[in-house]
Amino acid sequence: MTHPSIRTKRLVLTPYEMRDVDELHRAMSDPHVMQHIGKGVLTRPEVQDIVSRVAAGRNETGMGWWTIRLKEDGYLIGQICLRPEKDLAEIAVGYALDAAFWRQG
């Protein structure tokens, strides 16, 4: 099955899949990355639950949580979310990047 992706010169974005759990946990267990996100760092079971729910709830809009990977080697550097706002005709964007990749433009 082919999964959608967004490709830029340096990155590849793809929707969450269960195979992403360990890599996402690496990022979501970093206190620097998660400092201003939700309740903070997450355990592996919490990440697995989130990925499971996100993957099951995927819809035709293509919105939701996606991984951000380096194009050259596939290394997961973060995540991004596009979500319709309930009361506004706008799309909310949220993201988190591995601290090693901050300030790289």
Buried-exposed string 5-25: b where 16+ CB fall within 10 A, e elsewhere: eeeeeebbbbbbeeebbebbb
**Can you read off the two tokens belonging to residue 69?**
């990977």
The residue assigned the tokens 């830029």 is 8
Q: Residue 83 belongs to what domain range?
A: 6-101
Number of domains present in the structure of the chain: 1
Rounded Cα–Cα distance for residues 65 and 67 (Å): 7
Q: Quick check: is 63 in a domain? A: yes
User: Residue 53: is it exposed, middle or buried by C-beta count within 10 angstroms (0-12/13-18/19+)?
Assistant: exposed
Dump pLDDT digits (tens) for 40-95. 999 999 999 999 988 877 766 667 889 999 999 999 999 998 877 777 778 888 88
Predicted local distance difference test score (pLDDT) of residue 63: 76
Indicate whether 1 belongs to any domain: no
Q: Amino acid letter at 54?
A: V
Q: Give the helix ranges, DSSP H, for the chain.
A: 21-28, 44-56
Task: Specify the pLDDT at position 51.
Answer: 92
CATH number (domain holding residue 50): 3.40.630.30
Instruction: Please check whether residue 72 lies inside any domain of the structure.
Output: yes
